[in-house]
């Protein structure tokens, strides 16, 4: 099975599909960033999370076609994560603690973007709403025994992930390994720079989301619990909120552009 999958990853069609998946992911972040900056500059606009951004895109001319294509191509990124989960990491000891956590990360990432693709298709075919699933889940957990403790642990976990992204941006460990013989060195240099900015912005967004989840648990206020849109909305009403929202939006735009470059020039190998 693994040998067949290793051969499949070298198939040009599968590589192209995965490339489209990276581009689709970049498109999602690009528009989230654009809408965040618009919300910072226009008083009657609110920052958008992933679902709200998809809703905005659906409402544009030919929006349903665009979002449908986005969902289909985003599945290429989900496929990439699935292959990574099965084939990597740890050749010598695939069930070491480090490898298990790495595989869990791939699974969670794949499931997350599979959810985005599913939400996109829901919007296109008007199958139902799935507004802020984190907020809905948090409200359900609050009603359970030890619910606040579970929210607290979840918030700490999200903060930890965010710190990991920020650290990865600083060290460059979250930046793609580009084909040096295919990409101009100046483009690679700038791609690395904007990639670090983008990854750091993602990390900050995770940290903020986790902080508000922990506050929701500590103060017993479910209104503070939510996903990306909730975090951006709360930041926007803080002192200098427009500035912080603009910076995060700019970081997301950088990440979107970086994903476009990575889609074309990164090494699509399973190690």
Task: Name the band, by pLDDT with cuts 50, 70 and 90, for residue 256.
Answer: very high
- The secondary element (H helix, E strand) that includes residue 209 is helix 185-219
Q: In angstroms, what is the C-alpha Rg of the chain?
A: 19
Domain boundaries, the chain: 2-265
**Average of pLDDT values for 237-264?**
93
Assess whether pLDDT exceeds 60 at residue 79: yes
Do 76 and 20 contact (CB within 8 A), yes or no?
Answer: yes
Q: Which residue has the higher pLDDT, 101 or 198?
A: 198
CA–CA distance, 133 with 51 (Å, rounded to integer): 9
SS3 category, 73: helix
What is the pLDDT, as a whole number, of residue 128? Answer: 66
**Average of pLDDT values for 135-154?**
79
What is the pLDDT, as a whole number, of residue 42? Answer: 83
Lowest mean pLDDT among 19-23, 48-52, 132-136, 249-253: 132-136
Task: Name the band, by pLDDT with cuts 50, 70 and 90, for residue 184.
Answer: confident
Mean per-residue pLDDT of the chain? 86
pLDDT tens digit string along 17-64?
A: 999 999 999 999 999 999 999 999 887 778 888 888 999 999 999 999
Do 14 and 8 contact (CB within 8 A), yes or no?
Answer: yes
The number of CA neighbours under 13 Å toward the Cβ of 250 is 10
SS3 category, 221: coil
Assess whether pLDDT exceeds 60 at residue 89: no
> pTM of the full predicted structure?
0.88
What is the pLDDT, as a whole number, of residue 66? Answer: 96
Residue (of 49, 224, 32) closest to 119 by Cα position: 49
pLDDT tens digit string along 154-169?
A: 899 999 999 999 999 9
Residue (of 271, 244, 265, 261) closest to 25 by Cα position: 261
- Listed as own residue / partner, the contacts of 212-216 with beta carbons closer than 8 Å and 24 or more positions apart are 212/155, 213/138, 213/151, 213/152, 213/154, 213/155, 213/158, 214/151, 214/152, 214/155, 214/156, 214/159, 215/155, 216/138, 216/151, 216/155
What is the pLDDT, as a whole number, of residue 47? Answer: 83
């Amino acid at each position: 099975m693994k040998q067949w999958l290793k051969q499949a990853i070298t198939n040009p069609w599968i590589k192209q599909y995965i490339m489209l998946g990276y581009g689709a992911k970049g498109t999602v972040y690009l528009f989230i960033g654009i809408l965040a900056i618009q919300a910072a500059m226009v008083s009657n606009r609110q920052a958008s999370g992933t679902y709200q951004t998809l809703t905005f895109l659906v409402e544009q001319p030919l929006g349903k076609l665009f979002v449908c294509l986005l969902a289909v191509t985003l599945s290429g990124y989900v496929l990439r994560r699935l292959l990574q989960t099965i084939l990597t990491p740890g050749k010598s000891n695939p069930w070491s603690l480090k490898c298990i956590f790495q595989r869990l990360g791939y699974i969670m990432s794949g499931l997350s973007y599979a959810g985005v693709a599913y939400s996109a298709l829901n919007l296109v075919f008007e199958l139902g709403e799935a507004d802020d699933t984190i907020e809905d889940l948090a409200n359900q957990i609050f009603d359970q025994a030890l619910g606040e403790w579970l929210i607290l642990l979840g918030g700490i976990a999200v903060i930890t992930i965010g710190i990991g992204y920020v650290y990865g941006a600083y060290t460059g460990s979250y930046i793609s390994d580009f084909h040096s013989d295919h990409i101009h060195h100046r483009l690679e240099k700038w791609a690395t720079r904007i990639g670090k900015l983008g990854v750091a912005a993602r990390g900050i967004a995770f940290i903020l989301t986790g902080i508000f989840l922990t506050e929701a648990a500590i103060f017993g206020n479910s209104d503070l619990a939510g996903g990306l849109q909730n975090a951006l909305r709360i930041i926007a009403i803080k002192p200098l909120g427009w500035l912080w929202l603009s910076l995060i939006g700019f970081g997301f735009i950088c990440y979107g552009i970086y994903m476009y470059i990575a889609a074309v020039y990164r090494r699509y190998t399973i190690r």
